[in-house]
Structure 1
Amino acid sequence: MSVSVTRRTVLVAAAATGAATLTTNPALASPRPALADRETSALADLEAKIKDGMARYGIPGVALGLHHRGRDYVRGYGVTNLADPQPVDGDTVFRVGSTTKTFTGTAVMRLVERGTLDLNRTVRSYLPDFRTADAAASARVTVRQALQHTPGWLGDFLLNTGEGAGALARYVSEMSRLPQLTAPGTTFAYNNAALSLAGRLIEVVTRRPYQEAIRTLVTAPLRLDSSAFYLDDLPGARVATSHTFTTDGELVADPAAFTVPRSLHPAGGLISSARDQLRWARFHLGDGGRLLSSRSLRLMQSHPGPGGSLFVELDGVGITWMLRPTAEGPRVVQHGGDWAGQHSGFLMVPERDFAITVLTNADSGPDLLAELFVEDWALDRFAGVHNLPATPRTLPAAELAAYAGRYTFEQIGFDGETGSLAFLLVPDAGKLQFRAETGEEGGWLVFYRPDRVLEQLPDGTLLPGRDDFVRGADGTVTFFRSGGRLFRRTPLDAAPAVAATRAGTPLKLPIRIPTP
């Protein structure tokens, strides 16, 4: 859970082995020999890519879970801790960050089936005192909109409200300060606050702490014995220690970084293993018994809210699952998560009986994950599907002018203080050039479809991932969306001093955004 804003604004900032187990699901037919040979080759390619990525990016440990054509494959690579190395295996536990949201969503669906929650009722139906800074807008937000990342309020609210049983209640009370960015239900914008709010709803209707409710409703019935929110609940577990960068750029073991505030548990606090994450995938592929009806499982993976981008193009979000289109048609069901020193990817293609999860224990992990999950490397080899085409093209200066502006992102940190990041986008030879407010030039945005862009480094390299622009009701560009976050646009002619002098605070990223 803690991807830095740097990962998605790098253009601006720039201006191993373990034991393997292979099991077969007897409920599914074994692959034909030719397919088995092809799968063996693909697995070998995957292992080689993981090991190569670990070496190139300096990742100490990786755990892999793969489900393909009825077969499960679990493996660990590297070590848990550079300072005290132990081998990583399929039962080593990591923080899975934002994939936790799908556990929160699944618990909500269990309560929907019981009739104690209704996706189409407002949040205030269950929490009468709930409100954000825009009381009228927050009164209209439904449970479904909260789970689809469309409530419209500021989403990166990371306030640490302590470890007591009332942490979530205090957190939700403090949401009264959150500004409304867009009208409820109209715009996808990644929203950690909404998922912590959903965790509080679970507490209220079950009359149990969120952590206990998740254990009772989800992890215990599915026998996810290596999944919990506190290490004390996993005695004897081998832990993948977080590794973070020092100010000198050195990757070091950082055990303290493993801790996630209780207020953020529903958005990204789960500890789990590759083996448990693979069981989680099989459950959501429909092999989960009777914990949820097939109708509820399908609902979680369909009927998305408004679309957009979060590193990849999205049709939108179902019930906490990111729904990603492909050129061939089958939909990718995806999540993943980040926290300081803990980064993971998770995706499924139900129509192709395919799922993969990769867990890493270093802040260099996103580089490998981008190759496996943002690009379509794994999708191509195991599911035969690919990203929608994205051919770069230049735009006339008159069209680019509609996007030019100063763009600002805000978040509220663990201590309750507001931080921000701003940059300029300026037309430049058919593209949009990133500029720091002090004038450094840091790369470009290159259009491939209306309002959709790729990021390009100063050396011309196109980065993995896709961003887009959001237009308001009057048709003008109001936000740049990157990493699922909204950067508010101010036209350059509305801030002539900044545009003319390139003045302002030097571009730096003092705030890392924990993205459960």
Structure 2
Amino acid sequence: MEHYKVPGIAIVIIKDGKIVLNKGYGISRSDDSIRVSTKTLFQAGSIAKSITAPGVIRLGEKGILDLDRNIDEYIKNWNLPKNPYKKPVTLRMLLSHTSGMINNNYKGFPQNEDVPSLNMVLDGIGKYKPAQLDTVPGVRYQYSNVGYGVIQRIVEDVVGKPFEIVMEEEVFMPFDMTHSTFERRRKGNDENISYAYNRKGEIVPGYWYNAGIKASGGLWTTAEDLAKFMMNMQQEFSKRALLEMITPVKATYGLGFNVKGEKDTVAFYHSGKNVGYTNFMIGYVQQGDGVIVLTNADNGGYLFSEIIRGISDLNQWDFMKPKELETVNIKKEVLDVYVGTYELTLGVDLYTLKVERDGSHLKLIDLDENNEEYPLRALSETKFRDINDGEKVDFIKDKEGNIILLWDEQYRFKRKETVKEN
């Protein structure tokens, strides 16, 4: 925690359907010297999607919503942009990120400022882009926070209640999640709320940010509550509904969850990243095992990766097994060739990565994800690996001789040319 500048962390380990470890470490609020406890609230980031999905599915089981109906039939209090494609969008597509909806990845709004209405966010405000389709619905996986904003709009329009109330009734109460909420928080609401911390371990200005879209990133929760959620999913949630959620629609994403493994080793998982909070949860479907790690820091991903790898190795779980790779030392002259800014356009979205020297190595910086850093190690002069997640980062040349950063063997980022001044 000291190395990564992570002030506070909460961990829950589940084995055979029972909590075997539930503990907080470090500081929740440094200026008040409040320590992390089992009741400390963290922003869960995109783990909110994993809570939204079963809520929508329960509404489907009650006949209130139909996951395969055209969403035009549900939306009442917002004007959905015209679908330029012949294929309609459904809730199943929105839940699985296959609707063709663009992605908005803005950091939200400081807690001491007003948050625009959901409609204002969907229409585009500040750095938020208007909700729109840029891909034929159902064709491919394209992660979309704004797609979950449309889900939130539908839930509120059809049920006639605020989204946070619906999730309270459909998920929190049935799953005994007594410390979770989608309500936006203000400083002074609850001393159990952990502050958010940046990469230097400093409190984020305003103490934390509130998400513009509750359904995609507005969940406040504890590690223990997420453990209750996970155990309910494993033991109590209807088998038909669970099967729907853990069956990949496209790529490895089901309904509200990433999925890995097969047969008796299927695991469902999701990460969560908001300003100053970085989290992860994963569980086996059949065995009743799982891990939840919540942190109050932008650097928390490095730490939770180490923790989950250690727990997986200790218990011989296939969650995040450690991998050993033989690295090589590369001359700095070769490394310097790759330094620069790289861009990729997908639909209407522009993604930007930056490569910098990190001593005798390279590091990759995701400029669209709060400057998330990925330390790279060389396997050869052209092949590198992110040592946190094992992602492949290769450098190749196109026909014109331009350097291309190939991410995960499929995303081609072209280096942006720099203009030298005379």
Place the TM-score, normalised by the shorter chain, in its bin. 0.7 to 0.9
The structure-2 alpha-carbon separation of the partners of 1:221 and 1:120, relative to structure 1 and needing over 3 Å to count, comes to: same
Q: Tell me if structure 1 keeps the 8 A contact 2:276–2:298.
A: yes
The equivalent of 1:354 in structure 2 is 289
Distance of aligned partners of 1:55 and 1:186 in 2 relative to their CA distance in 1, 3 Å threshold:
same
Match of 1:213 among 143, 150, 166: 166
Where 2:148 maps in the other structure, the secondary structure is: helix
Closer, same or farther: CA 221–351 of 1 in aligned 2, 3 Å: closer
Conservation of the 8 A alpha-carbon contact between 1:149 and 1:191: yes
> Where do 1:41-56 residues align within 5 Å?
54-56=1-3
- 1:294 and 2:246 correspond: no
Which one of the candidate residues 208, 227, 246 is aligned to 1:258? 208
Residues 455/91 of structure 1: CA separation in 2 closer, same or farther (3 Å cut): closer
The residue that corresponds to 1:273 in the other structure is 222
Amino acid at match of 1:369: F
Structure 1 gap ranges (5+)? 1-53, 308-315, 394-404, 413-417, 424-433, 445-453, 470-477, 493-497, 507-516
Alpha-carbon shift at residue 266 of structure 1 (Å): 0.7
Partner of 1:61: 8
2:142 equivalent among 189, 193, 202: 189
- 3-state SS of paired residue (1:91): coil
The DSSP-based 3-state class of the residue aligned with 1:57 is coil
How far apart are the structure 2 equivalents of 1:252 and 1:138? 50
Change (3 A) 1:63 1:442: closer
Instruction: Encode CA deviations 1:463-485: one digit per residue, 9 max, x unaligned.
Output: 2325579xxxxxxxx99667xxx
Q: What is residue 152 of structure 1 aligned with on the other side?
A: 100
Kept in 2: contact 1:347–1:355 (CA 8 A): yes
Equivalence map 1:401-416=2 (5 Å): 407-408=343-344
Residue type of the partner of 1:298?
L
Q: 1:392 to 1:71 in 2, by over 3 A?
A: closer
Deviation at 1:232, TM superposition (A): 6.3
| 1:462-515 CA distance string (max 9 Å, x none) | 52325579xxxxxxxx99667xxx96766x9xxxxx6xxx42599xxxxxxxxx
Q: TM-score, normalised by structure 2?
A: 0.75
For 2:352, the equivalent position in structure 1 comes to 421
- SS of match in other structure, 2:343: strand
2:311 equivalent to 1:378: yes
Contact 1:66 1:74 in 2 (8 A): yes
SS class of match (1:105): helix
Task: Name the amino acid aligned to 2:418.
Answer: A
Matched residue of 2:281: which SS? strand
* Pairing 1:316-395 to 2, within 5 Å after superposition: 316-325=252-261, 330-373=265-308, 376-382=309-315, 384-385=317-318
| 1:200 and 2:148 correspond | no
The AA in structure 1 aligned to 2:260 is: R
Match of 2:58, SS?
helix
CA 1:118–1:258: 2 relative to 1, 3 Å? same
Provide closer, same or farther for how the CA distance between residues 116 and 275 of structure 1 changes in structure 2, counting only shifts above 3 A: same
| 1:136 correspondence with 2:84 | yes
Q: Is the 8 A contact 1:347 1:357 kept in 2?
A: yes
Change (3 A) 1:206 1:159: farther
- Per-residue deviation, residues 82-104 of structure 1 (Å, max 9, x unmatched): 22212211111111111111111
Higher relative contact order (CA 8 A, sep 6+): 1
TM-score after normalising by structure 1: 0.62
Distance 2:192 2:363 in 1: 42
Aligned to 2:28: 80
Task: State percent identity of aligned pairs.
Answer: 20
1:168-214 C-alpha deviation (Å, 9 max, x unpaired): 23333449845645432222222111111111111111111111211
Report the secondary structure of 2:418's partner residue: coil
Which consecutive unaligned segments of at least 5 residues does structure 2 have? 327-340, 365-373, 394-403
Tell me which residue corresponds to 1:230: 184
Task: Measure, in 2, the Cα distance between the counterparts of 1:411 and 1:225.
Answer: 41
Q: 1:241 aligns with which of 195, 199, 203?
A: 195
- 1:149 is matched by which residue type in structure 2? H
Aligned twin of 1:117: 65
Task: State the 1:237 CA deviation.
Answer: 4.4
d(CA) in 1 for partners of 2:26 and 2:324? 37
Displacement after TM superposition at 1:370 (Å): 2.4
Taking only aligned residues, the RMSD between alpha carbons, in angstroms, comes to: 4.0
CA separation in 1, counterparts of 2:420 and 2:313?
A: 43
Q: Is the 8 A contact 2:16 2:288 kept in 1?
A: yes
Contact 1:96 1:338 in 2 (8 A): yes
Change in Cα spacing, 1:435 to 1:90, as seen in structure 2 (3 Å) is closer
Residue 356 of structure 1 deviates from its aligned partner by 0.9
Matched residues in 2 for 1:103 and 1:505: separation? 50
CA deviation after TM superposition for structure 1 residue 217, in Å: 1.8
Paired residues, number:
372
Write out per-residue CA displacement over residues 51-74 of structure 1, whole angstroms, 9 at most, x where no aligned residue.
xxx132121111111110233121
Shift of 1:361: 1.0
- Aligned AA (1:334): Y
**1:305 aligned partner:** 249
Greater helix proportion: 1
Query: How far apart, in 2, do the equivalents of 1:254 and 1:378 lie?
Result: 30
Deviation at 1:281, TM superposition (A): 1.1
